[in-house]
Amino acid sequence: MTRQTLYRRLRDMRDHFTPPPGLAWPEISDGKIIMMMSPRPRHQLTATRVRDQLSPQLPDGLGVFEATDTDDEALGKLRVPDLHVCAYDAMETDDPLDPREITLAIEIISPSNPENDYRDKTRDYPAMGIPHYLILDPRDGTWTYQWGIGRSEGRPAYENRLHLPYGKPVTVSTELGTWSIDTTDLPRYSAKDMGLAPDS
């Protein structure tokens, strides 16, 4: 079975699947369906604060969109970035968004599966042609910005990486403009969010 054939089968299963309570729409990578927990309120608060900062900085025709399917059938991957920046026109499609239309993908770490964002999407997003990738981590109050697609070990990979604490602004320099995100007031997860003992 080819990668594309397996992907089409998994995609068909996903399209006819209703997530049970507590789970979000799944992604597809490496021949597997990846289930994710539904986002917590502080996750969504982070997304809203970042979207509210980015939107006024974007040139006409670009927008910030949430939780949109984007896929590359040849790679057998379907991902759902928490936020992404692309042209409004690109969203006028019956199919998943073409990942090469995305200028910036943003993921907000979920306590249940951080490796999906740090490891797997750091591998998948450059392969899918997404030139800028920002990870926000409310667990420890840090951000990681990766950009510039080159090659490493024979596969596409980001050539540049910054990892800094909240309070340091993120500056994203793209061909379409330079945008800044103030991370000072982004929320941090509570102990309960992370499945630990409640805060005292």
Q: What is the mean pLDDT of residues 149-172?
A: 96
12 pLDDT higher than 70? yes
**Contact between residue 124 and residue 160 where contact means Cβ atoms under 8 Å apart:** no
Q: What is the mean pLDDT of residues 184-198?
A: 87
Measured torsion, CA atoms of residues 167, 157, 89, 16, in degrees rounded to the nearest 10:
-100
How far, rounded to the nearest angstrom, does the alpha carbon of residue 99 sit from its chain's CA centroid?
11
Distances (CA, A) of 191 to 148, 166, 167, 195, 199: 35, 18, 21, 6, 6
20 pLDDT higher than 80? no
1 pLDDT higher than 80? no
Question: Which segment of 32-41, 49-58, 144-153, 183-192 scores lowest on mean pLDDT?
Answer: 32-41
Q: What is the mean pLDDT of the chain?
A: 93
Q: What is the pLDDT of residues 97-145, one digit of tens each?
A: 999 999 999 999 988 888 999 999 999 999 999 999 999 999 999 999 9
pLDDT value, residue 77? 96
pLDDT value, residue 199? 52
Q: What is the mean pLDDT of residues 15-44?
A: 87
17 pLDDT higher than 90? no
Q: For a pLDDT cut of 90, what percent of the chain falls above it? A: 80
Query: What SS3 class is residue 64?
Result: strand
Q: What is the mean pLDDT of residues 15-31?
A: 84
Q: For a pLDDT cut of 70, what percent of the chain falls above it? A: 98
Q: What is the mean pLDDT of residues 57-78?
A: 97
pLDDT tier for residue 16 given thresholds of 50, 70 and 90: confident
Residue 86 to residue 174: CA distance in whole angstroms: 12
Question: Which segment of 23-37, 134-148, 157-171 scores lowest on mean pLDDT?
Answer: 23-37
pLDDT value, residue 197? 65
82 pLDDT higher than 70? yes
Pick 76 or 112 by higher pLDDT.
76
